[in-house]
Amino acid sequence: MTNTSRFTKATRFVRFSAITVALATCVGCWNSAPPGRVTAYGEVKVGGTSIPDGAITFESVEDGIGGGVTRIESGGKFKLFLRPSTYRVGIVSVEGGLSPAGFDAVEKSKVRVPAKYALPPSSGIEVKVDAKNRQINLDLTP
């Protein structure tokens, strides 16, 4: 891998993470799901242990852009409003947050969720969300 491709990957990840964090702070403004949406909720674990915080992103498989993002709270819990669809999921959790250099600049001991799960298109996580499938519990491989 050349330095240029690594920089491009790191830049994409940092931009994605910045948008994720910004949008995650906006979630939680409603008490009930808006029309056409369902309340999706769940827990994120790595190797059976709940992560203490982070962000989770849902990207629609249908159009690649529809979805949502929210914070992962204490105990690995999250909740957000999504339209019924199938989603690719991305998860980020790094002790102390990310630097502009992305995962390459983070000490391995501070990464709570492996980098392979960060971007929805390449995480390998896909879930269906609808009125009957609203609970999403994920236990990731370290």
Task: Give the model's pLDDT for residue 113.
Answer: 93
DSSP, res 33:
P
Q: Taking 80 as the threshold, does the pLDDT of residue 15 lie above it?
A: no
d(C-alpha 133, C-alpha 142), whole Å: 26
* Residue corresponding to tokens 């999504």: 82
Which residues constitute the domain of residue 99?
Answer: 3-140
Task: Give the model's pLDDT for residue 11.
Answer: 53
Number of structural domains in the chain: 1
Q: What is the CATH number of the domain that holds 122?
A: 2.60.40.1120
Pick the more confident residue, 3 or 79. 79
Calculate the alpha carbon distances from 137 to 89, 133, 134 in Å: 12, 11, 10
Task: Give the model's pLDDT for residue 109.
Answer: 60
Q: pTM for this structure?
A: 0.74
d(C-alpha 70, C-alpha 87), whole Å: 14
d(C-alpha 111, C-alpha 130), whole Å: 31
Task: Give the model's pLDDT for residue 98.
Answer: 61
Task: Give the model's pLDDT for residue 24.
Answer: 46
Pick the more confident residue, 44 or 104. 44
Residue whose C-alpha is closest to residue 112's, from 98, 132, 126 = 98
The pLDDT tens digits of the residues spanning 55-105 come to: 999 999 988 778 999 999 999 999 999 999 999 999 999 887 665 656 565
DSSP, res 94:
B
